[in-house]
Amino acid sequence: MTPLRQRMLEDMLIRNLSKETQTSYVNHVVRFARYFRQSPERLGPEDIRTYQLHLINERHLAPTSVAGAVAALRFLYQITLKQDWALDAIASPKRGDTLPVVLSPEEVVCFLGCVADPKHRVILTTCYAAGLRLSEALHLRIADVDSQRMVLHVAQGKGNRDRYVMLSPTLLKELRAWWRATRPTTWLFPGQRPGRPMDKGAVQWACRLARFRSRLTKPVTPHLLRAAFAVHLLEAGTDLRTIQLLLGHHRLETTARYLRLATTKVCSATSPLDLLPRPVASAADASTR
């Protein structure tokens, strides 16, 4: 390991960045250095600009992916290398505000019924039932299931924040059946490596296979099951602040995006056209005059 990478890792550790963020940042910086075949310490603003154009024009990366590289390079040059020019010189692309596709309750039932492996099915059911990120579901411990208070304890979720989420009675039955069948000791969903939870890859692959088997035309990922959780709660009348707490969002604005996906909320609003004191004359009425 080079001294520069070691220092960057230490800087991320001091700032308590998640393991996923640390891995992502290091990978972006490694790809940047390989492109120029030089240490980043010898590169500057013009090289970063050239690399950004390479990501956009040659690799055809989406703005979100380019933004990930920008965040990594800003951290490297601002924090680790302490370059004053870093913030202004490393431009971040404007990202479009796209809405995710949302599964209907019937589609959720269809999809989960097509997950072949019981372990994967319970994990994906947990993502939907409690609105968990896949990493949060995989890091549940036996002790995190509180059947007395009917809550799940999510330890160190995104942003290293703990929270409690509801424990559905239906999910509790699924989890108890899973525990009786497998008898895990620490992690609710242990992986193949001793003392470690299950890896994401196998569940993501199972998700793709189940989507193929279900013949759903919509994309399905563990994160879209979390989105379905939020939208279905909104459509059932749960207030936005409660959903924010359940999802573990830092800002209410992040949760408010799901309002645009809740069709029952949108369709329940009355158009001002229908509130006019007298009906608007139609084209057919005008033609008879």
0.85 exceeded by pTM:
no
Catalytic residues, by residue number, are 133, 158, 223, 226, 249, 258
- Spatial contact of 72 and 21, defined as CB atoms under 8 Å apart: no
The pLDDT value given to residue 108: 94
- Spatial contact of 173 and 132, defined as CB atoms under 8 Å apart: no
Within the chain, which residues score under 70 in pLDDT?
Answer: 96-99, 157, 159, 261-270, 279-289
Q: Which of 257, 220, 211 is nearest to 103 (CA)?
A: 220
Instruction: Look at the domain 105-267 and name its fold.
Output: hpI Integrase; Chain A (1.10.443)
The pLDDT value given to residue 236: 85
CATH 1.10.150.130 residue window(s) in the chain: 3-89
Report in angstroms the alpha-carbon separations of 233 from 24, 152, 166: 32, 17, 12
CATH superfamily of the domain spanning 3-89:
Tyrosine recombinase, N-terminal domain (1.10.150.130)
For residues 284 and 215, give the distance between their C-alpha atoms in angstroms, rounded to a whole number. Answer: 44
The pLDDT value given to residue 69: 93
Q: Is 147 left (phi over 0), alpha (psi -120 to 50) or beta?
A: alpha
The pLDDT value given to residue 276: 79
Report in angstroms the alpha-carbon separations of 68 from 43, 75, 85: 19, 11, 19
For residues 60 and 62, give the distance between their C-alpha atoms in angstroms, rounded to a whole number. Answer: 7
CATH 1.10.443.10 residue window(s) in the chain: 105-267
What values do phi and psi take at 219, rounded to 5?
-70, 150
The pLDDT value given to residue 159: 66
The pLDDT value given to residue 253: 77
Q: Which of 25, 76, 34, 78 is nearest to 54 (CA)?
A: 34
- pLDDT tens digits, 54-88: 999 999 988 888 999 999 999 999 999 999 888 78
